[in-house]
Amino acid sequence: MYGLFDVEKQPETLDELKDQWKDCKRCLHALARRNIVFWDGPEDADVMFLGQFPGRDEDRTGKVFIGKPGIVCRGAARKLAQVPEDKQFWTNVICCAPTENMKVEYLNNCFDLLEAQIRIVKPKLIVVMGNWALRRLSRELAMSKVVNNRGRVFTYSDLNIPCIIVTFPAAYNRQKTKDGQVKVLQEIKEDWEKVRKLYHGD
């Protein structure tokens, strides 16, 4: 096992970074995946939307946030947070569809890749979606859950990038009751309205 920063030269562009990782076999996820699922977005993006790991559609195509949950998330970014599409950057903590036994060592390897993305893009804001995303970006909240920290803002590392914790929009589709749907929908609207205010400086 080895990480990105074991190599001598740190990549300066997203293309260089992708080239370093395109054949990654750093962990056991490589045995189960169909495709590595890299990011989607420009190097001058304003907002990084950080999820947990690819789903089946993403694994099949190698494209990030294209399944039903991803479409819902992109809709929230566009309609609720009002972030222009050309300023959005979509990525995950893990870039391969996870095996059933997802272990921390796998997360650590992919975290090198995530850190490099953040260093290259230097987003103005990171939107944190999901428990693994939260735990990888915040030492203080490493044992916490999104549900207990909705709307909370913290700073990522010495880059001083603000991060906001939000309800994952696709959580709406997982609700089995009308009351559950209403509750989660309200949470989504509240959280993503905070994203809009942070981004636009309201």
pLDDT tens digits for range 145-175: 888 899 999 999 878 899 999 988 777 777 7
Quote the percentage of the chain above a pLDDT of 70: 92
Q: What is the mean pLDDT of the chain?
A: 88
| Three-point CA angle 91, 97, 101, nearest 5° | 125
The domains of the chain, with CATH numbers, are 8-200 (3.40.470.10)
pLDDT level of residue 1 (50, 70, 90 thresholds): very low
SS3 78: helix
Element holding 69 (H helix, E strand): helix 68-75
SS3 content of the chain, % helix, strand, coil (to 5): 50, 15, 40
Q: How far apart are CA 63 and CA 8, in angstroms?
A: 29
Which own/partner contact pairs does 169-175 have at CB distance under 8 Å and 24+ positions apart?
Answer: 169/69, 169/72, 169/73, 169/75, 169/76, 169/129, 170/68, 170/69, 170/70, 170/72, 170/73, 172/72, 173/68, 173/69, 173/72
